[in-house]
Structure 1
Amino acid sequence: MNEELINSANSIYRQAEKKAAQYFKSLHEQVMKKTYAPLLTKDIKSWKHNHIHHHSFLSYLSRRKGKSNIQEGYHNYIQWLYYTGKLDSYLDRSISYIFMRDLGRDLNSTDTQTRIRSIVDSLKDYLIKDKSDKPELFSMAGLYRFAQKEGVESAMIWVMNKLKTVSTNIPKEMDADQAQRKLIKIIAGVVMQETEEMGDKISPDERASRLDKAIRLGYCYGLTYPFIDDLLDSNVLSTKEKKQYSDLIRTTLITGSVPEMGEWHGKTKELIRYIHSELRDAFEYLKAHQQPETSKNFFEHAYVFFNSQEVDRLKDLSNAGYTNEELYIPIILKSASSRLIVRSVIRAPEDEEIDSRTFYYGIYNQLADDFTDMFEDMKDGAVTPYTYYLEYHDIRPDLINPFELYWTVISNLIHNVYNSDPKTCEVILDRVINGLKRFKERMGNEKYKEVMELFFSGNPKFNKVIQQLVRKADDVDFFDKLLRDHILTILKNERKEREYFSETIEAVRNEINTILIIPKDQKKPLIKEPIIDAANYSLEGDGKRLRPIMTWLMAVNEYGLDKSAITPLLRSLEYMHTASLIFDDLPSQDNASIRRGHPTLHQVYNTAIAELTGLFLTQKATNEQALLDKFDSKTVLNLIQYSSQMTADMCKGQAMDLDSKGKQLTLEQLNMMSFYKTGIAFEASLVMPAILAEANKSEIAALKNYAYHTGIAFQIKDDLLDVEGDWNLLGKSTNKDAENNNSTFVSILGPGGARKAMWEHYCLAIEALQKMPHNTTFLKHILNYFVNRDY
């Protein structure tokens, strides 16, 4: 690497160190004089009026109910805050804190106060209005609906696909849910920065364009957390691999170009290949969207951030000789530069006041986080101010007590950085006491008391003041903490549900595969039965069995029907579906050569046998339905009547498809044809078990609505896969639609428009599920599978 570039990078880091050293020296002097205690004690006296009250018995019950609700869930707690009149102040302190921490704003500014009030009002309106027919905001449907409102659908589709891919590539030694949460948080933070920078006086098109870029930039920057910081902190890589990987990152930041991966040995080769490719693309996107006036800041902050993390990461807890400066200066640098980067990422103009506040504020968050995580860090052998103090305070009287420095930082922020502004004091003290309350709840009373006695050993009087607040203070919780826990809960539940769904799908598929084969007539052993052989050839292919699986899950999991009782229905659905594929593949129709990874039936036998086999399976399907003898005969008759009508409609759909070849269809015509070809089969898979369970009309109507939109979304994905898919995964040829001159969603809307249409139908299907009285988790996951599948 060029010596001049290395020297320049080192010079930049030394300059940053010098500034951090001056800040640390100022804090150190305040610690030694213990100026924080009298100043904060005075602040607390006025703060207590809003947060410590003498409660009646009824208000005590109300408080207990509120605490219960925060544990029970996000929505319940928000509703409790609203009904008790606490929601406004809750949101005000939460948004105010974000403006301080993430945006570097001065809460004493009239413009900032006006903006905070506006956000609080709109957020409150969103949180309290009835959302019974709207998807959860942090679900895929909720995010897409948000994207539609802002005109950034393409960026949201892109980033949702990226998040899905990242989560599947997080090694098991790392926390995939936390990685996703961090990425979502950083994307949201970059979008928020961009929103505040551009204001509300720009055109909708300009706003959409800037938000589109902010979403992509947020992902590109956020990717560094799981794939640089978290990866290097984990045990996924060996010591040698960490050195090689760190050198790659360092070279990139110094030269401005991503080097080749080079030789890589060991089990992590494929992982690093993927990460290298993804980070390279992210870096190139970030670099391409810089301007000359912001590019310098971006690279300088990025290098300081990475190098300070490396300095910290390489510390060894067994080394008893680190100075206070060595412990604290790197965390001042990394905590400040991590947020300063964001402004350069979105190409915000330089603002000395914002940069200054951000620089001084960073260490507060870092010390608060390190305090929360100190026992996990101790277990991992990580060096932080807290773990190092726990390890060596008995033999190193020169070590600064990190908790004293923490309170000094708080005092310094309130009085020296924010000039004793009452609102700032209020919000910071709210946050501090909330952090201690959460820590106490997590640790338990005894452990908490032990920790406080150690860290407050030099100032028991101040400790007494603080512990009174921790015990008695009300209204100090924050929306971002609730949201963080809520998102983590969603991600963890989603992961568990997906795993259960996948396991169940595989088990049910295997079970269905064992019941499909049609036995030969043993009474006529001398007569060949080519139709049965042909039918079994088609049935034995590598089918996904989606329709009978949907029926099994609906019938058994949701309606509690007996598994053995519905076996004929499962056969019937797969027989009917396989018959439709045989007809679809015929030379007179789509003339397909591959189906389910094998040659199509008419190629193995002949067209006549294929036609007869399709008819044979159609009749077998009806015969199976007539064998549903565990149900009321009138109910079975209704089911057969419904099934016959659906079969007739499917034939109409295929006839429409054949008639459409070579013709330019409208979107409305294509939607109708897709429903008849695909949606009807999904509808039947759900409605037939509902008929057997004698479900009411409104429930069946909701299922039909879900199936309609699911079928169209499925067909759009099929059209996209026909253009973009891998035929080895698909088990059939690609580009057949173009060869046959068929109108598809891709040919009408283009790939981007087709994706938007697919996600619109996805949202409509999810919204239909919200009208269902049953637990519809598996239907949501089936829909997720349809739109995210690779084959």
Structure 2
Amino acid sequence: MYRMNEELIKKTDTSYQLAEQRAAHYFHSLYHQVLNKTYVPVLIKDFQSWKQTHIHHHPILSIFSRKKKKNNSHGYYNYIRWLDYTGKLDNYLDRSISYIYMRDLGKALDSLDTQSRIRRAVDNLRKKLTDFQKEETESFSMASLYRWAQREGIESTIIWLLDKLKTVSVNVPEGMDADHAQRKLIKIIAGVIMHVVDDMDNKVPQEERKQRLDKAIRLGYSYGLTYPFIDDLLDSNVLSDLEKKRYSQLIRTTLITGVVPDLGKWTGENENLIQFIHSELKDAYEYIKSEQLPETLKSFFEQSYVFFNSQEVDREKDLTESNYTNEELYIPVILKASSSRLIVRSVISAPEDEGFDNRTFFYGIYNQLADDFADMFDDLKEGAVTPYTYYLKYHTERPDLINPFELYWAVISHLIHNVYYSDKKTREVILDRAINGLKRFKVRLGTEKYNEVMNLFASGIPKFNQVIQKMVQKADDVDFFDKLLRDHMITSLKNERKEQEDFLETIKAVRIQINKTLRISNTENVPLLKDIIIKAANYSLEGDGKRLRPIITWVMSVNEYGLNQSAIIPLLKSLEYMHTASLIYDDLPSQDDSSTRRGRLTVHKEYNIAVAELTGLFLTQRAIEEQTYLDEFDAKTVLRLIQYSAQVTEVMCMGQAMDLDSKGKELSHEQLNLMCFYKTGIAFEASLIMPAMLAKVSESEMEALKKFAYHAGIAFQIKDDLLDVEGDPSIIGKPLYKDSENKNSTFVSILGQEGARKEMWEHYCFAIEALKEVPRNTSFLKHLMNYMVSRDH
């Protein structure tokens, strides 16, 4: 177990006690408001003013047209279009950005400087949203993220982040929500970036801007990592009680001593998970610590400990325990809600700001109570103790319990009038948010269930509840962009995960089908040499090949063009025979001289060079022969396909000749692109164009597919070049550094590893962008690109 200095423990406990005292003072001021209902007349008056801009009396005819338009506004892009069309987008974005400036940046809206910053942010966001619509661009794709990185000059940082996000997603264990973890992590990173961007203006030199954005992204990831791998992990049932206790103690020791302890021996089924998390969190923690200024380091440790300890206090509560006091229920909520936002400020080493500190401290519980209200039934189902779940369970037998719904409104009153000094815009935004939360809750639960909840939580404030429910029923224009964005992100992440699962399942299933068809039978009484060649061909075909090319052809043929599965089998075989032949030639001593391929000895090593050469020729001819068996298609189309196939083979031969001729030479960027297309891209093109020919698609669609294949092939080849220097030989099935040994010009040798990665992502973006010109469902091809750039073999 981890030993700690008693003096450090005492010092940390003292800091926590001081924070507790402050939270207790805040809680008791709210308690008195609830007890005396002093917030009720104040907020009724606020709503009387507020409703003037939110409840409109429409002529009877306009009601129907208004409802019709609203019904067509569902969905992220459609809703933005609807807002823009109705002239509501500016106000929508203004209240949304204003809210974020209050919540995440701790700003006061009555500041002229803040108003100016909000206006700039609104204008920028409006332009981006309308640009995305015009270009029909997915705003949350890896391609759009990388394009943003290029504009900012931080490509390497974003490549690093994409690799990290992939690693985290893969390592989120069953029993935890991977989509939620990824969304939360992205949200934290975006929040830190927003803090940093807000502190910069157009006068900041480009180099400094790049450095600050790089730092913000790495800090955001490092801090955000604590949510899935500390909070969510400890909230889940992944770890045993004993493991949770040991893991919590490790975190506590780190925050008290400032040093991450060694993990030591960790036994059990979670050993690999904990080893990964410990390593990743240690790196993240050391990075945050190294970037702290001396004057903010103390604040960082203190706020981190307050947040962690308050979370632990709440986590240890048991819903079956009926004797928790109001202070025990609410003070940890105040502490964790405020400290989580103060941590972000200290993480980026922002200067001390008393106004920010006060606003953030008082604001935190407002968000937390709103979130707990929205999630109360999920929390109740999981047995989590929140002010709402506890009140739901014990309100009949505990008349001393504070009604959390009433406390929520007391917090709102306190914020508007005591923290933001009755600022009109602040009141507008906070009341917008409150009514929006109730509207969303009502839609999610349904009217009947919603009324049940209100009868319980609002029964003690009948006059005020009447006002609230009128606003919920009639008020317009209270939606917020971050809620739309959140819903869109969750939907996108879930769809992305489902599409990826479908993609992998399709590859697996189609690969099995293709493998069953590839074996070449020796049905005739033939000379011994041909028997050897057939054995050699089958030996090569039986290797652990990815079968990407025939799989692409199958998906496009069957799923997109509606061709008969059995009718295209000769084409699938043809493509794999052509590809396998090219690999046999590529491995020969006169070319790349490889000893292993697809996890086994190459053909010339298993047999001999002559057999390998003849087998390659045999498979090439067999590929052409297979194409003649496409007898369900008209002869003219098949003849055109065979002609195209022969041209592809010619181009591949030229590409290999270029590769051989380039040994020991330094190719230009353009020459390398051309060679890679000839060697790799043309084969991907064939897998797309040949089924397109059979389906007789338009020439414009074929051109778009060729453009995709060109960039996909180069990206694929660059990934191969990278794997040759940084892959795992046991996974990729061949030794590393073969390109260097053979003095091959590669993207790595010319551009270096970092430059090669940038080039790969550039071609990735071009390929994804080319898919917009293909009038089909391109989900498979998009995930194919994702696979190409993230594969490990």
Could you tell me the TM-score, scaled by structure 1's length?
Answer: 0.99
Q: CA deviation at 1:380?
A: 1.0
Matched, 1:21 2:24: yes
* Mapped partners of 1:134, 1:445: distance in 2: 36
* Mapped partners of 2:317, 2:58: distance in 1: 49
The match for 2:34 is 31
Q: What letter matches 2:14 in structure 1?
A: S
The match for 2:587 is 585
* Mapped partners of 1:589, 1:259: distance in 2: 52
Q: What letter matches 2:652 in structure 1?
A: M
Matched, 1:291 2:283: no
Matched, 1:140 2:138: no
* Mapped partners of 1:316, 1:263: distance in 2: 31
Q: CA deviation at 1:68?
A: 2.8
Q: CA deviation at 1:319?
A: 1.3
Compared with structure 1, are the counterparts of its residues 546 and 341 closer, same or farther at alpha carbon in structure 2 (3 Å cutoff)? same
Any gaps of 5 or more consecutive residues in structure 1? none
* Mapped partners of 1:461, 1:150: distance in 2: 54
Q: CA deviation at 1:58?
A: 4.5
Equivalent residue runs for 1:5-404 within 5 Å: 5-71=8-74, 73-129=75-131, 131=133, 133=135, 135-404=137-406
Q: Is the 8 A contact 1:133 1:771 kept in 2?
A: no
The match for 2:754 is 752
Q: What letter matches 2:162 in structure 1?
A: M
**CA deviations over 1:342-363 (Å, ceiling 9, x no partner):** 1111111111111110111000
Compared with structure 1, are the counterparts of its residues 643 and 132 closer, same or farther at alpha carbon in structure 2 (3 Å cutoff)? farther
**CA deviations over 1:544-597 (Å, ceiling 9, x no partner):** 101100110111111010011111100100000000000000000000000001
Q: CA deviation at 1:134?
A: 5.8
Q: Is the 8 A contact 1:66 1:77 kept in 2?
A: no
* Mapped partners of 1:251, 1:59: distance in 2: 64
Q: Is the 8 A contact 1:194 1:210 kept in 2?
A: yes
Residue 520 of structure 1 aligns to a residue whose secondary structure is: coil
Q: CA deviation at 1:172?
A: 1.6
* Mapped partners of 2:275, 2:136: distance in 1: 40
Q: What letter matches 2:736 in structure 1?
A: T
* Mapped partners of 2:776, 2:68: distance in 1: 28
Equivalent residue runs for 1:412-427 within 5 Å: 412-427=414-429
Q: Is the 8 A contact 1:541 1:598 kept in 2?
A: yes
* Mapped partners of 2:134, 2:569: distance in 1: 36
Q: Is the 8 A contact 1:135 1:141 kept in 2?
A: no
2:649 to 647, 650, 653: 647
The match for 1:677 is 679
* Mapped partners of 2:61, 2:726: distance in 1: 63
Q: What letter matches 2:433 in structure 1?
A: R
Equivalent residue runs for 1:558-637 within 5 Å: 558-637=560-639
Q: CA deviation at 1:274?
A: 1.0
Q: Is the 8 A contact 2:568 2:630 kept in 1?
A: yes
Q: Is the 8 A contact 1:414 1:425 kept in 2?
A: yes
Q: Is the 8 A contact 2:540 2:580 kept in 1?
A: yes
**CA deviations over 1:138-173 (Å, ceiling 9, x no partner):** 111111111111111111111111111111111121
Q: Is the 8 A contact 2:254 2:261 kept in 1?
A: yes
Q: Is the 8 A contact 1:517 1:536 kept in 2?
A: yes
Between 1:55-64 and 1:707-716, the stretch displaced more is: 55-64
Matched, 1:714 2:716: yes
Matched, 1:743 2:708: no
Q: Is the 8 A contact 1:197 1:348 kept in 2?
A: no
Q: Is the 8 A contact 1:431 1:476 kept in 2?
A: yes
Q: Is the 8 A contact 1:548 1:685 kept in 2?
A: yes
**CA deviations over 1:631-657 (Å, ceiling 9, x no partner):** 011111111111111110110000000
Q: Is the 8 A contact 1:190 1:214 kept in 2?
A: yes
* Mapped partners of 1:141, 1:502: distance in 2: 21
Q: CA deviation at 1:405?
A: 0.5
**CA deviations over 1:757-779 (Å, ceiling 9, x no partner):** 11110000000000110111000
* Mapped partners of 2:579, 2:134: distance in 1: 35
**CA deviations over 1:49-74 (Å, ceiling 9, x no partner):** 11111123453334434543453x10
Aligned residue pairs: how many? 790
Between 1:61-70 and 1:341-350, the stretch displaced more is: 61-70
The match for 1:726 is 728
* Mapped partners of 2:529, 2:584: distance in 1: 24
Compared with structure 1, are the counterparts of its residues 176 and 360 closer, same or farther at alpha carbon in structure 2 (3 Å cutoff)? same
Q: Is the 8 A contact 1:538 1:601 kept in 2?
A: yes
Q: CA deviation at 1:266?
A: 2.1
* Mapped partners of 1:719, 1:453: distance in 2: 66
* Mapped partners of 2:262, 2:72: distance in 1: 52
Compared with structure 1, are the counterparts of its residues 708 and 42 closer, same or farther at alpha carbon in structure 2 (3 Å cutoff)? same
Residue 518 of structure 2 aligns to a residue whose secondary structure is: coil
Compared with structure 1, are the counterparts of its residues 526 and 532 closer, same or farther at alpha carbon in structure 2 (3 Å cutoff)? closer
The match for 1:470 is 472
The match for 1:764 is 766
Q: What letter matches 2:496 in structure 1?
A: E
* Mapped partners of 2:787, 2:528: distance in 1: 46
Compared with structure 1, are the counterparts of its residues 698 and 664 closer, same or farther at alpha carbon in structure 2 (3 Å cutoff)? same
Q: Is the 8 A contact 2:132 2:138 kept in 1?
A: no
Q: What letter matches 2:616 in structure 1?
A: G
Q: Is the 8 A contact 1:625 1:640 kept in 2?
A: yes
**CA deviations over 1:269-308 (Å, ceiling 9, x no partner):** 1111111111111111111111101111111110100001
Compared with structure 1, are the counterparts of its residues 450 and 351 closer, same or farther at alpha carbon in structure 2 (3 Å cutoff)? same
Compared with structure 1, are the counterparts of its residues 460 and 319 closer, same or farther at alpha carbon in structure 2 (3 Å cutoff)? same
Residue 382 of structure 1 aligns to a residue whose secondary structure is: coil
Residue 303 of structure 1 aligns to a residue whose secondary structure is: helix
Compared with structure 1, are the counterparts of its residues 460 and 364 closer, same or farther at alpha carbon in structure 2 (3 Å cutoff)? same
Q: What letter matches 2:488 in structure 1?
A: H
1:2 to 5, 11, 15: 5
**CA deviations over 1:11-62 (Å, ceiling 9, x no partner):** 1100111111111111111111211110010010111011111123453334
Q: What letter matches 2:51 in structure 1?
A: K
**CA deviations over 1:78-114 (Å, ceiling 9, x no partner):** 0000001110110000000000000000101111111
Over aligned residues, Cα RMSD in angstroms?
1.2
Equivalent residue runs for 1:671-710 within 5 Å: 671-710=673-712
Between 1:315-324 and 1:101-110, the stretch displaced more is: 315-324
**CA deviations over 1:532-552 (Å, ceiling 9, x no partner):** 111111111111101100110
* Mapped partners of 2:62, 2:49: distance in 1: 23
Q: CA deviation at 1:524?
A: 4.0
Between 1:263-272 and 1:602-611, the stretch displaced more is: 263-272
Q: CA deviation at 1:609?
A: 1.1
Could you tell me the TM-score, scaled by structure 2's length?
Answer: 0.98
Identity over aligned pairs, percent? 70
